[in-house]
Amino acid sequence: MPLRHFHLLQVILFTFAILNSNLTAQENDIPRVHSGSIELAFHGSFDYARGSRNLTAAVRGSYYFNLGKPLFSTGLESAISNTRSFTRFDNRLLLGVHRPFANSPAMFQFALTGGVRQEKLGSFWLNRYSLGLLPGIRFLITNRTSIFTEYHLQRVFNDPTQNFTDQRIQIGLSIFFRNK
């Protein structure tokens, strides 16, 4: 299945989940993320283009807190990517803001990221630095679990040839602790 069809399938599934949510439910019945929650998220992406595959897997830990009306989060993410020619390790800090959709277990999320990227090419290690944006949609299944999709847009600096932009769509699963 071409990559564009996979992205279209993601959008259709999340739209269906949002529209199928119980819009007449009471506010207390709808799963929400609350201040003081701790998230453990697992996400990844896979693409295959021009005979080359790229597999990315990541784990993230986040803490949610209130500063007024929106819900904020801060987190640390570690990812590994592998292609035929190199392996890449990413470590990022995230600062996010989250807004639930009215009467729905879905929520919009947006984060700013910054971190260090290490690439192993043959026997050489290269260090790069990244700054990025991370918009996404999260659908809470229960108060303890959610599925999400995110668009990673990273500007990578300190490349030996030139700075570049890295883009990908990832899907994942979250487990929440202390989410009352």
Residue 153 pLDDT: 92
Which tens digit of pLDDT belongs to each residue from 120-143?
A: 877 888 899 999 999 999 999 999
Q: What is the mean pLDDT of the chain?
A: 85
Find the range with the poorest average confidence among 49-53, 80-84, 91-95: 49-53
Q: Measured between alpha carbons, how far apart are the two ends of the chain, in Å?
A: 40
Q: Is residue 69 situated within a structural domain?
A: yes
**Which residue range is the domain that position 72 belongs to?**
3-21+33-177
**Which has more pLDDT, 19 or 161?**
161
pTM as predicted: 0.80
Q: Is residue 92 situated within a structural domain?
A: yes
Q: Is residue 28 situated within a structural domain?
A: no
Those residues with Cβ within 8 angstroms of residue 51's Cβ, 6 or more apart along the chain or in another chain: none
Residue 66 pLDDT: 93
Per the DSSP assignment, residues forming a β-bridge with 165 are 155
Residue 15: in which H helix or E strand, if any?
helix 3-19
Residues constituting the chain:
180
Question: Is residue 24 over pLDDT 50?
Answer: no
Question: Is residue 25 over pLDDT 50?
Answer: no
Here the CATH number for the domain that contains residue 170 is 2.40.160.20
Q: Is residue 37 situated within a structural domain?
A: yes
Per the DSSP assignment, residues forming a β-bridge with 106 are 139
Q: Is residue 27 situated within a structural domain?
A: no
Q: How many CA atoms lie within 13 A of 158 on its CB side?
A: 12
Q: Is residue 112 situated within a structural domain?
A: yes
Number of domains in the chain: 1
Confidence band, pLDDT 50/70/90 cuts, at residue 11: low
The percent of residues in the chain predicted with pLDDT above 70, rounded, is 83
Confidence band, pLDDT 50/70/90 cuts, at residue 1: very low
Confidence band, pLDDT 50/70/90 cuts, at residue 52: confident
**Which has more pLDDT, 27 or 144?**
144
